[in-house]
Amino acid sequence: MGLLETIKSPADLKALPATSMAPLAEEIRTFLVESVSRTGGHLGPNLGVVELTIALHRVFDSPRDTIVFDTGHQSYVHKLLTGRHDFSKLKKQGGLSGYPSRAESPHDVVENSHASTALSWADGIAKARRIKGERGRHTVAVIGDGALTGGMAWEAINNIAADKDLPLTIIVNDNERSYAPTIGGLAEHLATLRTTRGYERFLDWGKNTLHRTPVVGGAMYETLHGMKKGIKDIVAPQGMFEDLGLKYLGPVDGHDEAALESALRKARAFGGPVLVHVITQKGRGYQPAVNDDADQFHSVGKINPETGLPFEVSGRIWTDEFNDEMVALGAERPDLVALTAAMLIPVGLDGFAAAYPDRVFDVGIAEQHAVTMASGLAFAGLHPVVAVYATFLNRAFDQLLMDAALHHAGITFVLDRAGVTGSDGASHNGMWDMAIASIVPGLRLAAPRDGQQVRLQLREAVEVTDAPTVLRFPKGDVGAPVPALRQQGTLDVLHETSREGCDLLVVGVGAFAALSVDVAGKLEAQGLRVTAVDPRWVLPVSDDLVELARSAGAVAVVEDNLVTSGVGAAVTIALREAGVDVPVHLHGIPKAFLDHASRGQILDELGLTADAVATSLATHLH
């Protein structure tokens, strides 16, 4: 039996001798490579935190002591050390979540995968424990250096540092990367810390000199003590943290388990907030990951564990269409600039960055800053394209509303991974963006149905100079083009039984346009006259759609968004305001957090398939 198999809880880990830690770390890395290569998942980040997570669970007493991970994709080792060894269905329906999950274990606390939140969670937990008199319980926040680029983390540090006796340990897992290399002033500061000798060692040198040459040495040592603050700022600029009021320990080798335990025990015993700066290597122990300069196997699909190469080569994805068209637009428009929040490659801006490096801004995990910065760029005469995952637009809603829309800023937001994404769980589903956008005055939102429309509608979006525009598309392969039979005003008619009115008008939103054509065909086979349309620009609801609905017996809207506040709700209101009195049937995502599963499984459960939608509509129409 291997060491890992004997560990069912952190108590089992603590019972092992220190000499077992190196072989255990090697065993865990082997397990991760073999398991994640079969299922897909976040491989690189977890290979980098093996020794750190071992040390955490040997020093602290989870779940009595609370460990909060930011972000949770670095929690696989934590799962293993708390007894969860079945990775066979990782991120799949009925299997382990790719992030901490309270439903899985009392050792898990924060479930969402949005970054820069752990310090606020930890601050609240630690203060609550103190109010309740639970002074023997400790709180630990593990935050990556990339997540420290988020403003919320610094809001938390500001409050934590003011509380001198709060038993809270902050571990900065510094691997110089978030998804790709971390950028910005903080990254430069941490780089300096990594490469600068600590001032304590400088003072130790002074002590040694004192013993060897008492007169000169003594004077030198007194001088050194008098200059302590100045020397500290010169040779060990951890002063940024200590000046805020945080005790600083480090940098510590994140792959020296004994050194990590020593540092963490000092932090635990200190009695106040301590920041432990840990240097790790993303992808540690797996050469294909270490050799990958792009993202060091941040997240992988099924791969050959020997080579790191994917078993399945995916087809063309939605993001590829955006990537290529941005490069083409960049050549035509010198005023076009692009922004993203630590996701340059995943959102498809790497092509634009390669072609026009001076016109792309990766602001780190700082969506709020990205949107307001874009408003400034727009005011100064440029057209910014802000590309983020749809779920991360939630984090910058106030800036979208008050900085962009209120000021009539011509900014294009491109939202990747819109709608149901599936395997990454509730926090990654992009199911709120159209609900958010629908209440922003002046905003226009396009939902392309295929790759050709991504390109066309991106071009249309960047022509708008007096209001924000949004372009959203889902995760995965883009599929074949969905041709239009004809245009009716701004609408593309995709299916039509007759031009003389219809029993049902089906409005397919974005990637659901193809589904709407299938639904129309199934209902037409039952004797109904059906028209299916793609509005292209789905918000605000167009007058052309309202007028077409006047000649319909009923309207159905099918969308990959919250059914209660998305396009269907907007269509319903628009028809009522125009005096069009027809029933409107809404098909979308219920107001609920969705468990991880494949996109297809989730859509099937929600009844968002052609068969399910057609059956539901037939029941109402016959």
> Of 79, 91, 247, 282, which residue is the catalytic one?
282
For the CA atoms of 170, 175, 178, 180, the dihedral, rounded to the nearest 10 degrees, stands at: 170
What CA–CA distance (Å, rounded) separates 498 from 417? 36
What CA–CA distance (Å, rounded) separates 163 from 166? 6
Burial code (b: 16+ CB inside 10 Å, e: under 16) for 170-195 equals bbbbbbbbbbbbbbeebbebbeebee
Q: Is 208 annotated as a binding residue?
A: no
Strand runs (DSSP E) across 301-359, as ranges? 336-340
- Among residues 522, 585, 528, 535, which one has the least CA distance to residue 557? 585
Sequential DSSP letters for 232-273: HHHH-TTHHHHHTT-EEEEEEETT-HHHHHHHHHHHHHHSS-
Strands 66-70 and 168-174: unpaired
Catalytic site residue 282? yes
- Say if residue 209 is preceded by a cis peptide, omega within 30 of 0: no
Q: Is 114 annotated as a binding residue?
A: yes
Tell me which H or E stretch contains 154.
helix 151-161
- Among residues 255, 297, 314, which one has the least CA distance to residue 279? 255
> Of 359, 395, 475, 529, which residue is the catalytic one?
395
Q: Is 99 annotated as a binding residue?
A: no
Q: Is 128 annotated as a binding residue?
A: no
Burial code (b: 16+ CB inside 10 Å, e: under 16) for 92-102 equals beebbbbbbbe
- Say if residue 23 is preceded by a cis peptide, omega within 30 of 0: no
User: Are 130 and 136 a contacting pair, CB within 8 Å?
Assistant: no
**Dmax (CA) of the chain:** 106
Q: Is 367 annotated as a binding residue?
A: yes
Q: Is 175 annotated as a binding residue?
A: yes
What CA–CA distance (Å, rounded) separates 383 from 377? 7
- 3 state SS of 178: coil
Residue 501 burial by CB count (10 A; 0-12/13-18/19+): exposed, middle or buried? middle
Q: Is 76 annotated as a binding residue?
A: no
Residue 589 burial by CB count (10 A; 0-12/13-18/19+): exposed, middle or buried? buried
What CA–CA distance (Å, rounded) separates 96 from 3? 21
Catalytic site residue 395? yes
Distances (CA, A) of 128 to 135, 138, 141: 10, 11, 15
> Of 51, 257, 321, 367, which residue is the catalytic one?
367
Query: What are the phi and psi torsion angles at 507 (to 5°)?
Result: -105, 110
Tally DSSP H helices, then E strands, for the chain.
Answer: 26, 18
List, in order, residues 6 or more apart from 80 with CB less than 8 Å away. Answer: 4, 7, 28, 31
User: Are 201 and 236 a contacting pair, CB within 8 Å?
Assistant: no
Q: Is 179 annotated as a binding residue?
A: no
Distances (CA, A) of 303 to 35, 299, 506, 556: 10, 11, 41, 42
Q: Is 57 annotated as a binding residue?
A: no
- Among residues 19, 23, 26, 12, which one has the least CA distance to residue 58? 12
Tell me which H or E stretch contains 168.
strand 168-174
Q: Is 113 annotated as a binding residue?
A: yes
- 3 state SS of 122: helix
What CA–CA distance (Å, rounded) separates 282 from 296? 7
Give the residue numbers annotated as catalytic, written as ranges: 282, 367, 395
Residue ranges at the known binding site for Mg(2+): 145, 175
Residue ranges at the known binding site for thiamine diphosphate: 73, 113-115, 146-147, 175, 286, 367
